Structures are given as structure tokens and as C-alpha cells.
Amino acid sequence: MKRPRPELIAVYPGSFDPVTNGHLDIIHRAAKHFDHVIVAVLNNSSKKPLFSVEERKELLIAVTKDMPNVEVDSFRDLLVNYMQQKQASIIIRGLRAVSDFEYELQLASTNSKLNRQVETFFMMTNPQYSYLSSSIVKEIAQYHGNVSDLVPKIVEEALRKKYPSPSNKRLV
């Protein structure tokens, strides 16, 4: 008799500041291949975030609400410790370009060294999002450029609140 396989739990970690259509593409695709996907917002001490961890979680919850096997969470610990806590064995990482690979390989090797039970799965981004990053989105939004094709509508609205247009500001 064949034993049932254990549930495949994958974690997609990132700062998601803010979540972009590229991130959402990876989440959708990962959700098709794994039983449960945890989108884990990390508070990266080397970055100065525009959105708080709670705001990022709220945005992610809103844009993934139609995906029943996707959970949104946050963590401050080592990723491998978080993985163990969640009984997850797979890390999802998106690759936009060859230039991402060297850094991602270093992270994957380190995580594997820390916990041999953890595997990293690299997903190539959809070519239409290969140039897209949260940093680019924030810069465009800061100068009131159009980000409607880069982020979900709710994120576009949140960016407008963070970077109000000068014409929308009241004179004091």
C-alpha cells in the first residue's frame, strides 16, 4: 500500500515593499505546485521600508484572497528557523535575470548548510516582469509616474497615499 506523501509547504520570503505584479505572478504559480504557500514578509534591517510590516501583510492578504492555499505571515528570525517552525521544506525564490542568480545561490547554499531538510526552488519570473522591482516601483510612484501596470490596484492606491501628488496637497 502506497503511503500518502506529506503536505508540501513552501515559503516565499521577501520584503514585498511593496508587492508587485512580478511577486504576484510567482505566488500564483507557486500556489499551483505546492499544497500550501506561505508568503513571509521579512523586516530586512538593511533596507529602509516605505510600508510597515503590517501594511505589507495587509496588501498581500488583499491581493491573495482568491488563493485558498496561500497564507501571509511575517518573521524576524533566520529563515531556516522560521521554516522549521512552519514545518516547511521548500523556499521559493524568484529570479528576474542572471544577475540575481549569484546572490540567490549564495542564500540557497547558506540555508542548505544551516538545514539540510530545506530545498530552494528557483522560479524564473515571467519575462514581462523581468525588469520589475519594488525599488523601481517606489521611485516611479515617488515622482507620480504611472504604476498601474506594475502593481495591483490596491497597491497603486496605497502608493498614492504614501506619495501624494503636489496638486492634491492643500495649501497651508
Q: Which residues are catalytic?
A: 23, 47, 96, 134
The answer to whether 158 and 128 are in contact (CB under 8 A) is: no
Give how far the C-alpha of residue 49 lies from the chain's centroid of Cα atoms, to the nearest Å. 14
The verdict on whether residue 130 carries a ligand-binding annotation is: yes
Amino acid at 53: V
The answer to the question of whether 52 is labelled as a binding residue is no
Q: Is 104 one of the annotated binding-site residues?
A: yes
50 known member of a binding site: no
Cell of 46: 538593511
CA dist 74 and 86 (Å) reads 12
Cβ-contact 48, 74 below 8 angstroms: no
Q: Is 116 annotated as a binding residue?
A: no
Q: Is 131 annotated as a binding residue?
A: yes
**Residues in binding site for substrate:** 15, 47, 79, 93
**Residues in binding site for ATP:** 15-16, 23, 94-96, 104, 129-135
**Residues in binding site:** 15-16, 23, 47, 79, 93-96, 104, 129-135
